[in-house]
Amino acid sequence: MSAAAEATVLITHDVGLHARPSVKFTKLAKTFAADVEIALAANGPWFDAKSIVKVMAAKAPKGTMLHIRARGDGANDAVDALVELVRRDFDEGAGHVRSA
């Protein structure tokens, strides 16, 4: 029996899960061996969290409850890390400065 984990987290980033946040999210997801998926509703549809195209296609705006699940080695660690990334505003909080 392989490990499985899931969690739900509120997206508070001003632009939601779009370009830069999606890249950060998928890069982090790819560091785990587990299969990782996201959904905008508990019953899906579910998207491969390691695919930038699929994550961006989810079009998750600010205020969305993001459902994250993982199966396989490191499933708990993957879900925990991704939830924390979303909670940290994809590391683009108040201290984030855009370059010209």
Q: Which residues are catalytic?
A: 18
For β-strands 47-48 and 65-71, DSSP reports them as unpaired
Q: What whole-number distance in Å separates Cα of residue 32 and Cα of residue 41? A: 23
* Look-up of token digits 């019953």: 43
